[in-house]
Amino acid sequence: MMVQPTDIALFLVSFAACIYCIVLSRRLKALQDTRDGLGATIMALSKSISAMSSATNETRTQAGELATRLGKHMKDADQMCTRLSELTASLDESQARAVQNTQAAEAELKSSMAELLHQSRERSREMKALMKEMKALGTESMNRNRNADFLFEEDDPDLVERTL
């Protein structure tokens, strides 16, 4: 049996392919290694993706709850704004009525005070006239008493005027 050069070439190529396959096999095993290789990286990425998915789901849930609460607070705020507007309008109306009532009471008080002042002046004039009259009567009475003679009797304690 004679070995031909093509057989040698074929053998060498097969041998080189075998060595290449062994090297590739070792590299593939290193990549698939879950401790140090690409497998570990892929596994870490899978865990990270899983954690991100759960965090995203939790965030969506919390965002939904917060959106619901925010909607409720916004509705309450709108109701409070409406109520506050109504109260402000009511307060403005009450203030206007109070001003009107105060002005009316003030006008009535001025009128009453003017009437009382007028009556007081009239009564004061009447009192002055009565006092002048009383002074005149008192003076007249005094003058009459000075000119009159009185008798005092021990038996009769009353004064008796003596006529001359």
Residue 76 lies in a domain: yes
What global pTM score does this model have?
A: 0.41
Residue 164 lies in a domain: no
pLDDT digits (tens, 9 = 90+) for 6-18: 888 999 999 999 9
What are the φ and ψ backbone dihedral angles of 149, each rounded to 5 degrees?
-105, 140
Residue 10 lies in a domain: no
- pLDDT, residue 163, reads 43
- pLDDT, residue 162, reads 47
At 156, is the secondary structure helix, strand, or coil?
coil
Residue 160 bridge partners (DSSP) = 151
pLDDT digits (tens, 9 = 90+) for 47-84: 999 999 999 999 999 999 999 999 999 999 999 999 99
- Domain total in the chain: 1
Residue 81 lies in a domain: yes
Residue 29 lies in a domain: no
Residue 61 lies in a domain: yes
Residue 148 lies in a domain: no
pLDDT digits (tens, 9 = 90+) for 105-164: 999 999 999 999 999 999 999 999 999 999 999 888 888 877 765 554 444 455 455 444
- pLDDT, residue 52, reads 92
Residue 93 lies in a domain: yes
Question: How many Å apart are CA 6 and CA 86, to the nearest integer?
Answer: 106
pLDDT at 37 over 60: yes
Domain range for 100 = 46-120
Question: How many Å apart are CA 145 and CA 161, to the nearest integer?
Answer: 10
- Higher pLDDT: 159 or 96? It is 96
What are the φ and ψ backbone dihedral angles of 162, each rounded to 5 degrees?
-100, 135
Question: How many Å apart are CA 149 and CA 154, to the nearest integer?
Answer: 16
Dihedral-angle region of residue 37 (phi above 0 means left; psi in -120 to 50 means alpha; beta otherwise): beta
